[in-house]
Amino acid sequence: MLHRPLTALAVALAALPLAATPPIGGGPHVLRVLRPCAASQLRAAVASNEGATMHRELRITLTNASATACAIDGYPAVRLLDAAKRAYIAAETFSTERPREFTIGPGQAAAFGLRVATGDGTTTYPTAATLAIIPPGDVSPLLLAVELPVAPALDVTPLIPASGAT
């Protein structure tokens, strides 16, 4: 009997949403396309803040606080903000390191370096109270409380996996 009427099981399977259909190939090595990490699913923190002659160097982590993995690739956009949340200065130079895409799962983190050049060492700069960080692929900032001099240059490194990211 080649032409059978649809059974209850066949009707139920046909009604399932496409997302429930297993990917072609199946198994543990299925290619998954992840969305870029959105600011809304990340939490920013200063992991280290070291001063040196005429510059400050920070290591900042972005931790995935959501229940969904996401992809990171590139440099974050960085701005020092005044008390009214207006930009004093934006990152203008980036390291020569090449960014690479990686995944951060729930609870995992990415990190980047921020270097604030304070110029000649004798000039007094105003202090920024907030750092705005915009992850690659997003337009919304994460706001992080900081006390950094509003110096002539900000240098940023690409995001890299912090412990546990893949």
Domain ranges of the chain: 35-161
Distance between CA atoms of 143 and 134, rounded to whole angstroms? 9
Residues 148-159 have a mean pLDDT of 86
Cα–Cα distance between 50 and 133 in angstroms, integer? 19
Q: How far apart are CA 43 and CA 116, in angstroms?
A: 22
- pLDDT value of residue 23: 43
Q: Which helix (H) or strand (E) holds 12?
A: helix 8-15
Confidence of residue 154 (pLDDT cuts 50, 70, 90): confident
11 vs 6: CA distance, rounded Å:
6
Q: What pLDDT shows up at residue 153? A: 80
Beta bridge partners of 59: 48, 113
What are the pLDDT digits (tens) for 84-109? 888 887 776 677 888 999 999 999 99
> How many CB atoms neighbour CB 124 within 10 A?
7
- Fold classification of 35-161 (topology level): Immunoglobulin-like (2.60.40)
Residue 28, CA distances (Å) to 25, 67, 104, 112 in order: 9, 20, 18, 30
Q: What is the pTM of this model?
A: 0.75
Task: Find out whether 39 and 132 touch, Cβ atoms under 8 Å.
Answer: no
Q: What is the pLDDT of residue 39?
A: 97
- Find tokens 């496409």 and name the residue: 18
> What number is the average pLDDT over the span 140-152?
89
The predicted structure's pLDDT at residue 2: 46
Q: What is the 3-state secondary structure (H, E, C) of 111-160?
A: EEEEEEECCCCCCCCCEEEEEEEECCCCCCCEEEEEEEECCCEEEECCCE
Spatial CB neighbours of 138, under 8 Å, sequence gap ≥ 6: 36, 37, 38, 39
pLDDT band at 156 (very low <50, low <70, confident <90, very high): very high
Per-residue pLDDT of 1-51, as tens digits, reads: 444 444 443 444 344 443 333 444 444 555 556 889 999 999 999 999 888
